[in-house]
Structures are given as structure tokens and as C-alpha cells.
Structure 1
């Protein structure tokens, strides 16, 4: 038996990575809007959504790279939404809840990336 993955399973894994980057961007954007609107419940909801995404990325791919790719999409969305537009509009208002969201999301990503990997069952 060979320990290398077949090209079909590698292609599926790379598809998962692309999907996780997009999902990370969507969860990051939605969390950025929700955490400021309904503080403190919105912050908790946004962090729970990020935790679900990161852990789901770990489970879907079976590697820490799934958490990393989801985290990259999430972080890009959060950073892009924190920039001020030329008109002066911005999603983040600059108070402490945004920092809790940013650092809390990064801490959750690190926790999910360092979790032990459960054995994958063959389909």
C-alpha cells in the first residue's frame, strides 16, 4: 500500500482549501458587522462562527492547513474592513470590541490549529 494520496484526493483537498478561503472571508465580513451591532452578544456570535469555521476546516481537510487557509480568508476580510475608505466610512469604530474580535479570532485559530488530529475514517 502506498502512503501518498491519489491525485483525485489531492485535488479535492485543494478544492477544500479554496472553499475555506472564501468561507473565511465571508465569516470574517459577517462577524465584523455582527460584533459591532449587538455587543456583547454579537461578539460572542461572531467568535463562535469563526471557531466553527476554523474547526470545520481542520475536520474537512484533516490538516492544520485547513485552519490556516480559513484563517487567511478571515483575517484578510477583517483587515480590509478595518481600513478607512476615502469618504471616511469604515466598519470598525475603533473601540475595544474590534480588538477583542481580532485577537479572539486569531487565538481561536491558533487553538484549532494546535488541536490533536482525529483519525479520518475512510469513506
Structure 2
């Protein structure tokens, strides 16, 4: 046996950070009451990330968009991993979109939070794509969001 045979196989950076599908499917499902509390928390967190992201992306144009998108992706993916359901990523996305609807409406004084410039449109478009990607990642549940599937056999 050589020294190279004893080393574990190298994994890619996304596999190390996000885990493999097999690792995610082996994780235990949180109890229903904990999932419901997490859904409420992530809905409110989605609203907060949306409002803060709207101001951050406009405040620091090139870097602000990246910060807002990183926070958005972390919120959606965090909801997915904490609850173990696709609904866990969909609930913060719903809060994110609800807050965006309120932020996009111009005020009577003529003030806007989101303008039709490249950074605002990039944040809206890429953020919505991130929500769809996170809501369609493999989870421990069946095809319907939020409903635990039958127990998996090893």
C-alpha cells in the first residue's frame, strides 16, 4: 500500500461547501413544529434581505449587487438546508418578492428605491433565478414542497 492509496479522494469546492446529494438525503428531518417556526423566520428574513438588498445594491453599485445577491442566495439556500424541504427555499423567496413589490412602487413624492438601471435589474433578475435554483435543488422530501416523502431504504 502506497501513500497515495491512503489519501481520501479530492472533492470539488462546491461539493465541500454544499455537500453531495447523498449527504443531504441522509440528514434527518426536523420536527414539524421546528419547520413551521423556520418557515416563519425565513419568510421574515426574506423580507429583510430584500429591503436591505435594494438599498445596498444602489449604495455601492458594483460591489453592492454582489453583496445583495450573496445575501439573497444564502437566505434561500439556508431555508432549504434548515428545513430540508423545497418549501424552505420557496418561503424566503415569497417574502423577498413581496417586499420587492412594495419597494418597486413609486412614492407619491416621485421617489423610487429601485430604478431601471443595470444594477437594479441585475439584482432583480439574478435574485429571482437564485430563488428558483434553490427551490429545485434535491431535498430529503418527495416531489411536493414541504411534504415529507416515504422513508428511504439504505
Q: Which has the larger radius of gyration?
A: 2
Q: 1:52 aligns with which of 42, 66, 74?
A: 74
The higher-RCO structure (CA 8 Å, 6+ apart) is 1
Do the aligned partners of 2:43 and 2:94 also contact (CA within 8 Å) in 1? Answer: yes
- SS for the counterpart of 2:33 is helix
Q: TM-score, normalised by structure 1?
A: 0.85
Number of equivalences: 112
Between the aligned partners of 1:55 and 1:93, the Cα distance in structure 2 is 27
Q: 2:89 aligns with which of 60, 64, 67?
A: 67
Alpha-carbon shift at residue 55 of structure 1 (Å): 0.4
Unmatched segments (≥5 aa) in structure 2? 1-29, 142-154
| CA-atom RMSD in angstroms | 1.6
Unmatched segments (≥5 aa) in structure 1? 1-7
Q: TM-score, normalised by structure 2?
A: 0.69
Q: Which residue of 2 aligns with 1:114?
A: 136
Q: 1:29 aligns with which of 51, 56, 78?
A: 51
> By percentage of residues, which structure has more helix?
1
